Every structure is written in structure tokens, then in C-alpha cells.
Amino acid sequence: MSYSDVKFPKNSKFLITGGAGFIGSNLCEALLNLGYEVRCLDNLSNGHFSNIRPFINNERFEFINGDISNFEVCDHACEGVDYVLNQAAWGSVPRSIEMPRVYEENNIKGTLNMMDAAVKHKVKKFVYASSSSIYGDSPTLPKVEGNEGNVLSPYALTKKVNELYGKIYSDIYGLETVGMRYFNIFGRRQDPNGAYAAVIPKFVSALLNNESPKINGDGETSRDFTYIDNVIEANLKAAASDSSVTGKAYNIAVGGRVTLNDLYKEIAHLLGKDNIKPKYGPERAGDIKHSNADISNAQKDFGYQGEYDFKWGLGKAIDWYKENLK
């Protein structure tokens, strides 16, 4: 594991918001396995208690059922914490277009509450989830920090505001923030259910049920699909980094590009379902056509490697779904 050698002071305590979600629960598990104390804050609106059930009886794990849009909850959760990994947010571009006020309340106000509480409790490092959607209508590939376009959805706007607050809280209040611009993360515990589920678990779930998944558009949309273990590495290395990264946001990906058509073929092949053909539907509003990251800044500034490539990660993810979607 590329993050197993990341060291924090003994008895370090981590707060992971959104800790019962896909990314958050994987961070909880990794930090517990490394021997640290973990406090998970989640209101279970998007996360699932089943994701953290294996940790509940661990004496180094604590679960708080609470909402980051409530400052008192954030204040309480930050007590005695050394590092915050802020993953709590509402995802999905199309859903944000339908309910922008919900995204404002959770993604902007909630993150601001967490930063404010982290300042109050003198947290050492505040690592937070941003998104590749921040690049908006910029046609440039690969995507490079500092060359962003106009955002295309309320979701993307909330992430842009998070980054602006991250810089402000670093510059004015001395909170060491680092933003993680995630590029289409996938892997174990990613939920295949619901209208806004991510594409990989939706494809896998449909094929396991011998159904034809729907592809939005012509299938030539491309993404920099990034396996979950790369995200764990990025968060831990960012949390352990020196102050030179403070106030910045970084691309977290593997630097590849896979079309939805090729993704579908690969998943169908791995599941032995090549005979099932996908259905095609309209493009989704607010979606970026192509996404591919330049990860050189994260590599240079805090030693991120992103060593788990797309095909290796996809095989691992499919193994997990075959075991857990019975």
C-alpha cells in the first residue's frame, strides 16, 4: 500500500465527516488499520450504517450521528481532534440542478461550519473533498490546477466555493487546508442503488441482474476513473504534508481516460456478460464531456503516487460487488 508508510504522531485522532459514505468509510477503515483513533460524523442521509458496522466495536472508533449543517454538531465533533478529513457532501451533478438550495445548505454552509469548528479547536490539518467538476466548460486536456472554466452545475459551484473558503481560512485564520479534486472515484462500498448512483456500480449491478444498463449520450464521454485506494493515499499524504500545500487544491486521479463505451465493454467482459448490450439515452445536463487529470502537482508537493490503475482497480471492485450484491 502506498500509504502504509505515512506516519502521524502516536495517539493522533482523526475526524472523518461523511464517514459512513463510500469514501469516508474506506478512510475510517484505513486509519483504524494503521492504529489511529477515528471519529466518524455522518447523518446517514447518503451514507449507510452498514459501511461502518464492522468498526463499531473497535475501541478506537467513535460514531456521531449528526449533520454538518449544524454548527454545534461540528463544534462538538472537532473537540480533541488533530486532523479533519471532510468528505461530507451531497454529490451528483443532475441532482444538484434539481435541488440547488439543498446543495448550498450542505456543501457550502456545512463545509464552512466544519472549517470554523476546526479553527476553534486548533486542528492541525483540514483536508476536504473537492471535485473535477470545478473545471466546468474548460476544453483543455489534461486538466491542470489554475486553468479552470465556468462551472456548469450547482454541485460544481459548491465545490468552487469550498476551495475559495479553504484559501480564505488558510490565509486569514491559519487553518491548514488542502483540497482534493476527485476524478470519478470508484471501488468497494460504492452504492449501486438510486437514480443518482455512479456509473460503475450501476453497470455492474445491472449486468449481475442480466439487465441492460443505460449509457447517457453516445458513450464517447470519457472519465479519469480512479480507484478508492488512490484516494486514501492522497488524503493521508495531504494530512501529513508540510505547510507548503496549505490553501491549495489538487487533482486526485490516475491521469488516464476511459470512454463509457470502453468502460462498459471491460465490465461486461470481466463479468462474462458480453452478450448483453447497453441502452443509450440523452446526455445529462451539466456534465463535462471529457475528464482527464494532470496529477503532477500532487506528486511533486506531497508525494502522491496514484499507483492503482484503472484496470487493476476495476477487477478489485467487481470482485467486491460479486461478493456483496448477492
Average pLDDT of adjacent 10-residue blocks, the chain of 326 residues? 84 97 97 97 94 97 97 98 97 90 96 98 98 93 95 96 98 98 94 76 92 90 95 98 97 95 95 93 80 96 95 95 83
The answer to whether position 29 is within a domain reads yes
The answer to whether position 239 is within a domain reads yes
* CA 287/CA 284 separation, integer angstroms: 6
The answer to whether position 61 is within a domain reads yes
pLDDT of residue 324: 87
How many residues in the chain? 326
The answer to whether position 245 is within a domain reads yes
* CA 307/CA 301 separation, integer angstroms: 16
Residue 313: count other Cβ atoms within 10 Å of its Cβ.
22
pLDDT of residue 191: 86
Dihedral Cα 312, 317, 320, 321, nearest 10 deg: -140
pLDDT of residue 1: 67
pLDDT digits (tens, 9 = 90+) for 66-112: 999 999 999 999 999 999 999 999 988 889 999 999 999 999 999 99
The answer to whether position 7 is within a domain reads no
Active site residue 155: yes
End-to-end CA distance of the chain: 29
Q: What is the CA radius of gyration of the chain?
A: 19
* CA 143/CA 293 separation, integer angstroms: 5
Residue 185 pairs in a beta bridge with 226
Q: What is the CATH number of the domain that holds 143?
A: 3.40.50.720
The answer to whether position 194 is within a domain reads no
C-alpha cell at 274: 458480453
pLDDT digits (tens, 9 = 90+) for 188-232: 999 888 655 689 999 999 999 999 999 988 999 999 999 999 999
pLDDT of residue 195: 58
Total number of domains in the chain? 1
Q: Pick the catalytic residue: 83, 128, 155, 227?
A: 155
Residue 56: count other Cβ atoms within 10 Å of its Cβ.
11
3-state secondary structure the chain: CCCCCCCCCCCCEEEEECCCCHHHHHHHHHHHHCCCEEEEEECCCCCCHHHHHHHCCCCCEEEEECCCCCHHHHHHHCCCCCEEEECCCCCCHHHHHHCHHHHHHHHHHHHHHHHHHHHHCCCCEEEEEEEHHHHCCCCCCCECCCCCCCCCCHHHHHHHHHHHHHHHHHHCCCCCEEEEEECCEECCCCCCCCCCCCHHHHHHHHHHCCCCCEEECCCCCEECCEEHHHHHHHHHHHHHCCHHHCCEEEEECCCCCEEHHHHHHHHHHHCCCCCCCCEEECCCCCCCCECCECCHHHHHHHCCCCCCCHHHHHHHHHHHHHHHCC
Do residues 114 and 129 lie in contact, with contact meaning Cβ atoms separated by under 8 Å?
no
pLDDT of residue 326: 63
Domain extent, residue 243, equals: 13-186+227-255+288-308
The answer to whether position 282 is within a domain reads no
**Half-sphere exposure for 52 (CA within 13 Å, toward CB):** 32
Instruction: For residue 271, report the phi and psi dihedrals to the nearest 5 degrees.
Output: -95, 0
The answer to whether position 5 is within a domain reads no
